[in-house]
Every structure is written in structure tokens, then in C-alpha cells.
Amino acid sequence: MPNTELHETARALVAEGKGILAADESGGTIKKRFDTIGVESTEENRRAYRNLLFTTPGVEEYISGVILYDETIRQKADDGTPFPELLASKGVIPGIKVDQGAKPLAHAEGETVTEGLDGLRQRLEEYRGLGARFAKWRATYSISDTLPSEYCIWTNAHALARYAALCQEAGIVPIVEPEVLQDGTHSIERSGFVTSRVLAAVYTELFDQRVDVEGTLLKPNMTLSGYDASDRAGVDEVAEATLHTLSKHVPAAVPGIVFLSGGQSDEDATAHLNAMNAVGPHPWQLSFSYGRALQAPALKAWEGKPECVEAGQRAYYHRAKMNAAARTGAYGPEMEREAAVV
């Protein structure tokens, strides 16, 4: 029997005009981000920063869900309300990162496999008790003339599907995140070829492992030229190439695709999403699940100072609003300038 609750949650996460905030940075990643603004990465500073984001007035108009980290799902807001409860009270669905990171893949130099399946069933049960209704697992693949190998592609696809099946067993919507890293000098054509191979393997494994794709979301990379490529593709070319790649491999039954921002600038990530939605309709909702591309301006404005919390919230609200506009193809660079004047 299909799980209608999973279907409803997946659809709610890609509701019209909304997207997901990825606030699931590991301890090492959040430290790097805090280092850029000269703030020590203590548990209290991390809590205060997440409190800034989660209590931003009105942002629930544009944000459907938030991916939390193990530490964060156990923390509380300034008024003592557990973060998952705070989010749910605003109509924002709490989620949780459950993988334990990409580790070197044996006998495959330069490639990784994501770990964290051991004990996952028990962790999912606990996270559901803490309020999580969706989860995320990220696999990564490097591009070169020879990478990724078939070994890497299929090993990660198998793990992603095992994770997804366990999530659905626990009544949690799995976000499946196969990220083809866009570092390097590769062409957009090479990116499309590699992403196609990865997605083909992922959906083969999902079906083989009896995952109900109507109760899942896909979080892929966009099809981009390498960040160090001498001749990088423009916005419209990226949109066309990404849609071409997805249309070949992602079943229409998948409710939504929530892109990761990767190493893109805030505005590039928004412009690319906008260009894809401007040429719709598509079989799936095209949305966002951005971390840095939603948070970077807020982090810079906040600087760890209590008196700058409101400035940080304004910056986060603005980026959420811009990406919500991109959901309908209504975003334009002039909206950035207008906001800067206000």
C-alpha cells in the first residue's frame, strides 16, 4: 500500500513558491563559515545563529522545510522551545541530515562513498520522535576525464537506495542527494554526461530496492561547466542542459527536484533556477534546497553580534524571497537592486 503521509509531506516540501533551507552543516563546515566572520564555533554560537534563521519573521512564506544537523535538532530557541517544535509551529517541516559523510572508497583513488547505514534504522526512529519528517543523504562524485568510475557510481547509488528504503519504513521522506561536484575545468557536456550516468544508477537502485518514488525528493547538482573552465556556459544554456539531463532519468512520479547550490554564487543559483522555471511546465516541481546560497548574506550581516541579528534576518529573508520568485520564473536581477535601495 502506498504511504499517503509520505506523499503529502513530499508535496508540501515543494509547495508552490517555497523551498528548503539546508541548515545541516557539520561541525567542520560551520566552523569554516564562522571563521570567515571571525566568530568562534562554540555550541552556543551555533545555536544562536540557527535561532536567528529559524525565528526570522515571515520567512515561512517562502521556506517549506529546514534540514537540521544532529546537534541542532536537539537544541532550543531563546525562549526554550525545541527547534523542531518552533519550526513546526510556523508550518515549516523539520528535517534531518542522517549520513555520516563521504569517506575514501576502497581501491578507488580520488573517489568517495558515503557512510552511515550502520544503525540508521534506530537513528531514524529517534529523529522521528524528535520531530523530523524528512531526511537527507548526500553522495559525491568528482568529474575528470576518467572519473567517476562505474564502481563509485553504483556503490553510492546502492547506499542512497538503502537509506531511502529505511527512511520510508520509518515514515520519513528521503531526500536523495547525488551531487556531481562541479570543481574542475570540464565542459557542460561532460557534466551532463556524468550526471546522466549517476541518475540512471540511482533510479535503477531505488526501483530495485522497492522505494516509492512518489514519497521522495531528488536533490541534484545543476548541469554546469566546471568552476575553473575557461569558457563557462551562460544561464540559459545551464537551464537547458540541466532540464535535458533530468528529463531523461527522473520519473514524472517524483513530486519535486530541490536543487543544491554547490559552489555557485547566491545570485547565480537563483538565476539558474529561475531560467528553468521560466520554460515550464515540467513533470516535477523545480525548487531549491540551498545552504550557503541562502545563508551567506545573513552570516555576513550578523557577524556574531546580538545587535546585528535583525540585519542577518533581513538578509536571509531577502534571499528566501528571491528564490521563491525563481520558483515561478518571476525573478530578475533588478529585484536585487530594488531590495538594496530599500
Q: Which residues are catalytic?
A: 177, 219
Residues 231 and 228: their CA atoms lie apart, in Å, by 9
Largest CA distance in the chain: 56
CA–CA distance, 1 with 311 (Å, rounded to integer): 48
CB burial class (10 A; 0-12, 13-18, 19+) of residue 50?
A: buried
Amino acid at 243: L
- C-alpha cell of 170? 520509518
Question: Which cell numbers hold the place of 40?
Answer: 568562534
- d(Cα 243, Cα 258) in Å, to the nearest integer? 13
**CB of 75 closer than 8 Å to CB of 83:** yes
Q: Which amino acid is at 190?
A: R
What one-character DSSP code corresponds to residue 92?
Answer: P
φ/ψ bin of 210: left (φ > 0), alpha (ψ from -120 to 50), beta (otherwise): left
